[in-house]
Amino acid sequence: DAMVIQNPRYQVTQFGKPVTLSCSQTLNHNVMYWYQQKSSQAPKLLFHYYDKDFNNEADTPDNFQSRRPNTSFCFLDIRSPGLGDAAMYLCATSRAAGGLGEKLFFGSGTQLSVL
Amino acid sequence: GEDVEQSLFLSVREGDSSVINCTYTDSSSTYLYWYKQEPGAGLQLLTYIFSNMDMKQDQRLTVLLNKKDKHLSLRIADTQTGDSAIYFCAESRTSGTYKYIFGTGTRLKVLA
C-alpha cells in the first residue's frame, strides 16, 4: 500500500530538454517536499509546499520549479537539465511542521540521468 | 552551522550489535530522527527522539542522546543481513521551519 508514489522510477533526459517528475500521496498530508540526493550525499531540500504555499530554499537554482495542483499531487519541473542535475529526486510528505516532531514519509524516488 | 555529521561506513558481523553515531550543531533541535535507506529506495523512518529524552528503546533499536555533546547514536541489537542499508540521522527545529537537516549517512554492511 504505497502512500507516497513517485513516477517514473527511472527517467532519462537529454541535456537541456525539460523534464517533469511526479509525486502523489494518499495520506492527505499538508506538506509536500522535494529533495535532491546525489550519490553518497545527504538529501538536499529543494522546496516544499504547505498546502498551496510554496517555499523555495535560498540555494535552489531557478532551473528547478514545482507545481502542486491539488493536495494529492506535486510536480518537479527541471527546465533545462544539466549534467550536474543527474541525481535521485525524492518526494516526501508530512502532516504539518517539522519542528513539531512530524515524520517524513518518502516515496521510492526517481533516478534522473542526463545524457 | 547546519552540519549534521556521521561516519561514512560501518561493517559488522551478523548477530553483533551495530552502533551508528551522529553529531549535530544546532542546540535548538527539538526532534532527532533516524531514517533507513535501502538501495534504490526512499528513506524510511526508523525511530525518533525528543530532545528532552536521553534514551529511547524500540525492539532491537536503542537511541541515545547526549544533548550536552550534541551526540546521537543508534544501536541495532542482533544485527541481521537485512539491516544492511544507509542510515541517516536528521534534526528538526522549533522555529516553525519545515526544514529537516540530514546527515551524510552511514553505510552499514552486515557480514554473514
B15-61 pLDDT per residue, tens = 999 999 999 887 777 789 999 999 888 899 999 998 888 999 999 99
Closest Cβ opposite residue A42 in set B45, B92, B105: B105
Does the distance separating the beta carbons of B100 and A109 come in below 8 Å?
no
CA distance A43 to chain B (A): 7
Average the pLDDT over each of A31-35, A45-49, B10-14, B98-102 and give the range with the smallest value. B98-102
| Residue at grid coordinates 531557478 | A62
Residue B3 has a pLDDT of: 78
Question: Does A61 have pLDDT greater than 90?
Answer: yes
Closest residue, chain A, to B29 (C-alpha): A99
All three cell numbers of A4, joined, read 507516497
How high is the pLDDT of residue B1?
47
Q: Residue B65, Cα to own-chain centre: how many angstroms? A: 10
Dihedral angle of Cα A95, A96, A100, A106, to the nearest 10 degrees: 50
Q: Is A101 on the interface with B (CB under 8 A)?
A: yes
Closest residue in A to B28 (Cα) is: A99
Helix (H, G, I), strand (E, B) or coil at B27: coil
- Chain B residues in contact with A40 by the CB 8 A cut-off are 8, 104-105
End-to-end Cα spacing for chain B: 39
d(CA A66, CA A24): 13
- Give residue A100's pLDDT band: very low, low, confident or very high (50, 70, 90): low
Closest Cα in chain B to A87: B40
